[in-house]
Every structure is written in C-alpha cells, then in structure tokens.
C-alpha cells in the first residue's frame, strides 16, 4: 500500500491519520475512455473483474454524448468538451457493451472484465 506523503514524518497525529485515511485514499482503480469524432477510444477497455472501478469518460467533441450500457445498467450524458465519472462493478468476467446514444453508428465499445 502506498502511504500518503505526510506518513514519512511519523508523529502520533500522522500515524493515526495514516491508519485512518490511507486505505480510503487507495480507492477504486481508475480507467479512461475518450470520445472524439463520435468514437470511443479505446474501443475495447480491459478492466479487473470482481472489483469496483472508476471510469473517467472525457468528451473531446464540442457536442454532448450519452454514455449508455444496458449490461452495465448505466446511462449518463457527457457534456461537449466535458468529462464524467461512472462507477462500475464489481463485474463478473465477461464482455460488456457500451455505446453513445447520440451517435450509435460509430460510438460503440466493450468493457472486458477479466
């Protein structure tokens, strides 16, 4: 476990802080998807199965997109030139399709939990 910087100079107060705060800071593993020209990159994103993950979706297009997945049971608008965070899982191993509802012909991808 990577301890936060204050933990190097251990006083009683920081020891207590480290014991309480450090695990909370570890948090979920983070993965990124980028929307550009109405396409997701990467189109296949590999993530660990069996644990909750944090998915950061950045939209580089000036127009909004809606990140949607029936299998992941998620639906959220990503503003133009904006970003959102979606928490997913823990997932069973397998392939989960997602798409951009506003550009369904091109904005498609897969989350592969393994």
Return the number of the residue (18 or 107) whose C-beta is nearest Cu ion.
107
Return the number of the residue (61 or 68) whose C-beta is nearest Cu ion.
68
Binding of Cu ion at residue 97 (CB under 5 A)? no
Per the CB < 8 A criterion, the answer to whether 52 and 27 are in contact is no
Position among 19, 101, 104, 114 found at the interface with Cu ion (CB under 5 A): 101
Return the number of the residue (61 or 99) whose C-beta is nearest Cu ion.
99
C-alpha 112/C-alpha 104 separation (Å) is: 20
The dihedral built from the CA positions of residue 13, 19, 24 and 28, taken in this order, carries a sign that is: positive
Task: Tell me how far, at minimum, the Cβ of 14 lies from Cu ion, in Å.
Answer: 47
- Residues 26-85 binding Cu ion (CB under 5 A) are 66, 68, 75
DSSP H or E run through 24: helix 12-26
Residue number, nearest CB to Cu ion: 101
Q: Applying CB under 5 A, which residues contact Cu ion?
A: 66, 68, 75, 101
């Amino acid at each position: 476990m990577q301890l936060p910087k204050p933990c190097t100079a251990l006083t009683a107060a920081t020891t207590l802080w480290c014991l309480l705060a450090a695990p909370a800071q570890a948090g979920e593993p983070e993965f990124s998807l980028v929307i550009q020209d109405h396409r997701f990159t990467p189109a296949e994103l590999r993530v660990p199965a069996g644990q909750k993950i944090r998915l950061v979706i950045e939209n580089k297009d000036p127009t909004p997109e809606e990140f949607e997945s029936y299998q992941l049971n998620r639906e959220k608008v990503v503003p133009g030139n904006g970003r959102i965070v979606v928490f997913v899982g823990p997932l069973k191993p397998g392939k989960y399709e997602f798409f951009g509802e506003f550009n369904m012909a091109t904005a498609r991808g897969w989350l592969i939990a393994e």
